[in-house]
Amino acid sequence: MIVLKKKPLSNEDFLRHVRDYLPMDASVWNTDEKGKPCSCAMSTGMVEHHFYRFDAEAMLAASHAIEEVALEEANGFLLATMQEFKYFEPHRERYWQLAATLRDTRVIAKGKRPPRHGHLKFVATNHKALAPFWTVLYRGHHCQALLIGRQADGAKTFEHKRFDGFYTFNPGLIARVRRDIEEVLAGGAWWMKEFERLLAIDRTAKRLDAEFTRGHKAVESALRKLQIAGNRYEARRFAADLEKSLHRLKLLTGQLPNLVSAAHSRLAA
């Protein structure tokens, strides 16, 4: 008898699940090196480990996609942080189903815990480190997936909230985020250090990408001048303009280790 080994969850499969739940008016934005929304992400294609700005509907669609993967796998562990337990109510029946299917299902939030139902576990917390986060974390025998977002605005109603976050299928990264959540709940940590670490790397990568783009445009502009200006644009001026662009890029790459570690230093202070 041949046993077919299940493949890990792919980005394409995950996004297909997301689209099944995504309303037409939902939005996901790319963010720039300062964390500001800058363009539509859904039209260009989304990738794991990349930070986006999600509206509430998009956040729920990605959450439901991971929950659906967990139900299809029918094994393992699922953990969700939902800010406040009042946001759990619309998803109650789905989580009853998850608890009946998986080995362990937990919901973490602030406020009065809902009545116990079967194997579904509710964990109440007032910890400020978890208060702004919406998380769905799943670890199964074959598939792992994580969606985590931190609220980026002051909206009080869930439908108007915006979240900065990412998704991943990497087991090691998922394990580190789970450990951070558990350490916060146990009182051993005061911030989500893996989230902050990845955010710092994402901002740095986007800053570097923006500098590459500026440098590329500067080189193209210099080449056009060299082509059309004739003797009015001497080769040494072209070389100087090129050197200026490369120097800016060299300065930034030299600062990369400090840029990534800066977030750690600020939070540890």
- Express each pLDDT in 162-214 by its tens digit: 999 999 999 999 999 999 999 999 999 999 999 999 999 999 889 888 777 77
Evaluate whether residue 4 is within a structural domain: no
Question: How many whole angstroms separate alpha carbon 102 and alpha carbon 143?
Answer: 13
Evaluate whether residue 6 is within a structural domain: no
* Domain final residue pick, 167, 190, 213: 190
Q: How many domains does the chain have?
A: 2
Residue 209 confidence (pLDDT): 80
Same domain, 182 and 59: yes
Evaluate whether residue 1 is within a structural domain: no
Report the pLDDT averaged over residues 9-35: 95
What is the CATH number for 15?
3.30.870.10
The domain of 228 spans: 196-268
Residue 123's H or E segment, with its range, is strand 120-124
Between the CA atoms of 156, 159, 162 and 163, what dihedral angle is there, to the nearest 10 degrees?
Answer: 100
* Domain final residue pick, 190, 220, 255: 190
Same domain, 206 and 183: no
Buried b (16+ CB within 10 A) or exposed e, 97-112: bbbebbeebbbbbbee
Does 249 score more than 80 pLDDT? no
Does 2 score more than 50 pLDDT? no
Task: Look up the pTM and report it.
Answer: 0.85
DSSP state of 22: -
